[in-house]
Structure 1
Amino acid sequence: MLRGNNLGGAPRTYGSVNNSDVSASVEAMPSNPDVGFAGFSPTELYNLSENIITNIYTVNSSWRTLEKALNNIGSRKDNQALRDKIHMTQLSTNQLISATSRDLQRLTQVVRRGNKQQKLQAERLTADLKEAVERYSLMQKKIAEKMKQHLIIPNSSVSGAEESAQNDIDDQARLIQAQRQIQNEQEFERDMLLEREARVKQIEADVLDVNQIMRELSALVHTQGEAIDTIEGSIENASVDVESGNSELRKAAQLQNKNRKKLLILAAIALIIGIIITVILVTQLK
């Protein structure tokens, strides 16, 4: 069983505190994963489990990165480089979560031909990923809200009309220059508004829509639970069948003993009758 020594123990942290549990899980892997049931691929089960564990660790690592970034947003350390790092972290982690969800769906299919421990392992991994995604999604929402409150807008490239105030131009030139300044300021304000809207949309787009993924993970947990219940039901039915068979054997043995006793009694009666008849015949002949 993959990581059988971890079943029933404390939940793994997958990087949220340390990675010792992950290392222990890797060491607990079988040295030869190619030996297994007919029609069952322990190698694929091993690889999928390893990928999922690594990805859960990465999601928790991204959560810690965002947590540190959250404290810097709006402070003197806040700059465009920090915002770009947040964006790239969320983009890569969102893609990783989607890929891990697909791996879990495949793992659930693979362990259908496995044993109960392997099904429990898949159920544990699903629960761990679900917990990591929920924590990561909550951090994303906090990041998005704070970034909206502290938007970074590039400085305007418009120079304005500071250098245009010349004493030697006539009133008409001053009027034209003033109109240009107003137009430039309006364009700048419009560009600022568009830039603000674009950045807000990017912030909102970076927030992973976990609703669908959580529904998929919940469905996997339900499916895995049904599979485990089926195994337990089969074991219980087999136990009942064995007990019923033992009861039937005991009844058959008791019936056989009764029949044997009856035969012995009948044989004894027949023997006694035979002796009596023999004695009578001998007496008459004399």
Structure 2
Amino acid sequence: MSFANIDLEAQKEPLLKGKENDANYTSPDELDTIIGKTSRQLSVFGNLISQFETQRKQIGTRRDTQELRNTIDVLTGKIQEMDRAISALIANLSTLINSKNSITASASISNRHIVIEERLSRQYSELSKAFNKSTKVYQEKKRTTPLLTRPSKETEEQTKSEDTLATSQQEQEQVQTQVDQDLIDQTELQYHILLTEERNREIEQVTEGIMEVNSIFKDLSQLVHQQGEQVNTIEDNILQLHGNTQQASNELNKANEYQKQKGKWSCILLVALCIFLLVIVLIVVS
């Protein structure tokens, strides 16, 4: 399978045009488009690296020719150019995802975009590191391994046949890999949707709990207010009782004074009566 016709310049085009270039406006559909484009380019990037690995392993074998090495060098250049393009694409995607004002969708969509962006960045980093490592191995092996003598025509035909078979198998593997990748993406999407729904349910439960706590505090506030009113009533009753007690004490004092005065006048009247009787007795006796 050949990737010579891949349009690498398409990676350098602006991700969004017109209103899409405004960092303050990026819809979830536009992000989905960018994410899908990045995912497809990563798939092609991985396929190119697999092709590079297959051809690199032929260095030093009977299939090793100058034409093979030239093909590997050209393929290396294509992969390096795509590496730079995907790096810029992921950098732009990360900038859009992390921008404070770029996402106006719901929290569930924002979380899904962040998770997918992290997965794409991690996948790209792993592929780039693997390619750089393989490139170093290839350059070292190319430097230390001399070209073998040109094989015979029969050997060349056999080699071409084997290459055709290997290419066919590689194409089948690439198709299967793409199908598996699509299934994985769909599974991850469903998982994150379910996870978001579960989090929303938990948030609703927490909100209900907070409302119940607020209701309890409101009831406690009313109860404290009622208790305060009762305390005020008791205080008023105590003050009134104190006033009544003081008034009763005053009345008792008045009664006591009156009683003392009454006893005093009784004694005076009794003495006066005795004197009067004594005078009468004296008159009678005389």
Question: Which protein is bigger by CA-based radius of gyration?
Answer: 2
More helix by share: 2
Would you call these one fold, judging by a TM-score over 0.5? no
Quickly name the TM-score band, shorter chain normalised: 0.3 to 0.5
- TM-score (ref. length: structure 2): 0.45
